[in-house]
């Protein structure tokens, strides 16, 4: 079904547009054949109306031979042939009508017939113009469709990514924690219980915050704190955490678990790689409407390169890009034994929720 038939308005518009070639051919015939304007119109109007319908046929042909596939030559030849056939029959119809009108006005046919071959040229041009318009229309539709698909794919990808992030509680972290608890049960039962409580707190917060799309930065920082509480039991004095968070940052909305991969990397590739341990420093402050977060950690440059560390960072970078486009940045720098990740995010304020406990 041709899209023009989908609505009466479109069809009306199309017929209206066809008044232009009707008027034009009438005028040319009127000038060339020295007939009255009414005579010219009497020939051209019934001639143009069926041709308007013929000019819709490229819709079917252009869909069978799309522009992108198939050779350009084939496309051109096919449409030239089609236009010649259409124009030929149109010209025959013009002769036929002129003869009919001859019975109404004597001598009409003789005056008009020398000029009728020009209908062949005009017919081809009109037909080819219709072909061009159809292809343009198809391209616009295709472009819209691909934009829609792309958008859909982006949304799907973001959903999938979020789900993956929520499931991203590192199993090795869990097993190591449970091993610590196992060791503590006989050495220091009270601390074993404390570790269970800290670990539960961290897990609960991760699950709770992971479900949301935006959380206050203060919640994210609380989550990071509960994480360090747990790791402190595992690493003891090897893990030294310094935090310097400007209170005003707390109300900025951030995607949940954005910092979590960064601090996990800092522990895994930093503190855990150093026999004597090391520090992790987290700072956050506001510059006008921008939230600036810096996570720094010491690491051992001699250690084998992290195998998965790059993935966590790439994830954070992607999330910032999908959310903030060019207004958010992530910068990773390594200087000597210092690994530094800097985030710059537009701060959109959200109501600060109750503290996570």
Q: Is 175 in the site for another protein (CB under 8 A)?
A: yes
- For residues 260 and 224, the answer to whether their CB atoms sit within 8 Å is yes
| Nearest to another protein of 100, 181 (CB atom) | 181
Task: Specify the DSSP class assigned to residue 252.
Answer: B
Residue 287: its H or E element: strand 278-287
Which of these segments, 33-41, 43-51, 55-63, 268-276, binds another protein (CB under 8 A)? 268-276
| Nearest to another protein of 176, 322 (CB atom) | 176
DSSP 93-157: HHHHHHHHHHTTSTTHHHHHGGGTTHHHHHHHHHHHHHHHHHHHHHHHHHHHHHHHHHHHHHHHH
Contacts (CB under 8 A) with another protein, residues 288-307? 300, 302-305, 307
| Nearest to another protein of 176, 318 (CB atom) | 176
Q: Is 180 in the site for another protein (CB under 8 A)?
A: yes
Distance, in Å, from the CA atom of 241 to the CA atom of 223, rounded to the nearest integer, reads 14
Q: Which of 35, 184, 280, 284 binds another protein (CB under 8 A)?
A: 184
CB of 194 to another protein, least distance (A): 13
Burial 107-131 (b: 16+ CB within 10 A, else e): ebbebbeebbeebbebbbebbbebb
Which of these segments, 10-18, 84-92, 176-184, 285-293, binds another protein (CB under 8 A)? 176-184
- For residues 67 and 139, the answer to whether their CB atoms sit within 8 Å is yes
CB of 175 to another protein, least distance (A): 4
CB of 180 to another protein, least distance (A): 5
| Nearest to another protein of 275, 287 (CB atom) | 275
CB of 199 to another protein, least distance (A): 13
Helix (H, G, I), strand (E, B) or coil at 71: coil
Task: Specify the DSSP class assigned to residue 274.
Answer: -
Helix (H, G, I), strand (E, B) or coil at 170: coil
Positions in the binding site for another protein (CB under 8 A): 171-172, 175-176, 178-184, 186-187, 233-236, 272-275, 300, 302-305, 307
């Amino acid at each position: 079904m041709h899209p023009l038939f989908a609505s009466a308005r479109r069809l009306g518009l199309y017929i209206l547009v066809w008044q232009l070639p009707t008027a034009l051919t009438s005028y040319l015939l009127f000038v060339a054949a020295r007939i009255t304007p009414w005579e010219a119109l009497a020939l051209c109007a019934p001639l143009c109306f069926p041709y308007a319908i013929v000019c819709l046929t490229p819709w079917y042909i252009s869909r069978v031979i799309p522009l992108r596939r198939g050779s350009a030559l084939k496309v051109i030849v096919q449409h030239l042939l089609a236009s010649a056939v259409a124009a030929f029959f149109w010209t025959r119809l013009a002769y036929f009508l002129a003869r009919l009108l001859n019975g109404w006005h004597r001598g009409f046919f003789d005056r008009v017939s020398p000029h009728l071959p020009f209908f062949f040229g005009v017919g081809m041009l009109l037909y080819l113009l219709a072909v061009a318009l159809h292809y343009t229309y198809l391209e616009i539709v295709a472009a819209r469709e691909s934009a829609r698909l792309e958008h859909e794919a982006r949304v799907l990808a973001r959903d999938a990514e979020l789900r993956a992030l929520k499931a991203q509680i590192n199993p090795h972290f869990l097993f190591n924690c449970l091993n610590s608890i196992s060791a503590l049960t006989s050495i220091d039962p009270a601390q074993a219980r404390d570790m269970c409580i800290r670990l539960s707190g961290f897990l609960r917060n991760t699950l709770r915050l992971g479900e949301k799309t935006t959380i206050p930065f203060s919640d994210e920082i609380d989550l990071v704190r509960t994480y360090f509480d747990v790791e402190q039991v595992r690493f003891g004095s090897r893990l030294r955490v310094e935090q310097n968070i400007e209170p005003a940052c707390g109300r900025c909305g951030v995607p949940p678990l954005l910092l979590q991969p960064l601090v996990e990397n800092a522990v895994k590739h930093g503190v855990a790689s150093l026999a004597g341990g090391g520090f992790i420093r987290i700072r956050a402050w506001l510059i006008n409407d921008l939230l600036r977060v810096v996570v720094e950690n010491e690491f051992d440059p001699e250690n084998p390169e992290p195998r998965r560390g790059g993935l966590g960072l790439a994830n954070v970078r992607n999330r910032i890009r999908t959310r903030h486009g060019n207004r958010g940045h992530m910068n990773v720098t390594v200087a000597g034994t210092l690994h530094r990740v800097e985030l710059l995010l537009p701060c959109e304020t959200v109501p600060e929720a109750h503290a996570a406990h």
